[in-house]
Amino acid sequence: AQTVTQSQPEMSVQEAETVTLSCTYDTSESDYYLFWYKQPPSRQMILVIRQEAYKQQNATENRFSVNFQKAAKSFSLKISDSQLGDAAMYFCAYRRGYDYKLSFGAGTTVTVRA
């Protein structure tokens, strides 16, 4: 079974600063995908970024980037130039390449200080 672990229940960051969220996962698969989803107070689950396991290059989406360490099974999210609108709960998720379902971590609540 695949497990996703987010060890930081809460993180706080000053506006315009950088924050890094940790995620580790456990799998014996070689073909899989990793995701970060954002859940703001509106509770909508919004896909922030995705990473294919076969790609060595770390994914980047504007101010969001990941540090994918396949051997260490680590997948951290870096939010640069944090904005008030980044305040949300962030979930790390895993999916096998040929699979249908997502396995989620427990989430990290990010607070942005003005």
Partner 1 sequence: DSGVTQTPKHLITATGQRVTLRCSPRSGDLSVYWYQQSLDQGLQFLIHYYNGEERAKGNILERFSAQQFPDLHSELNLSSLELGDSALYFCASSTRPIGGEAFFGQGTRLTVV
Binding site for partner 1 (CB under 8 A): 33, 37, 42-47, 50, 91, 95, 97-107
Classify strands 10-14 and 108-113 as parallel, antiparallel or unpaired: parallel
Residue 20 vs 52, nearer CB to partner 1: 52
Give SS3 for 51: strand
- Amino acid identity of 66? V
Least CB distance from residue 37 to partner 1, whole Å? Answer: 8
Judge contact between 40 and 86, C-beta under 8 A. Answer: no
Residue 68 vs 91, nearer CB to partner 1: 91
Least CB distance from residue 102 to partner 1, whole Å? Answer: 6
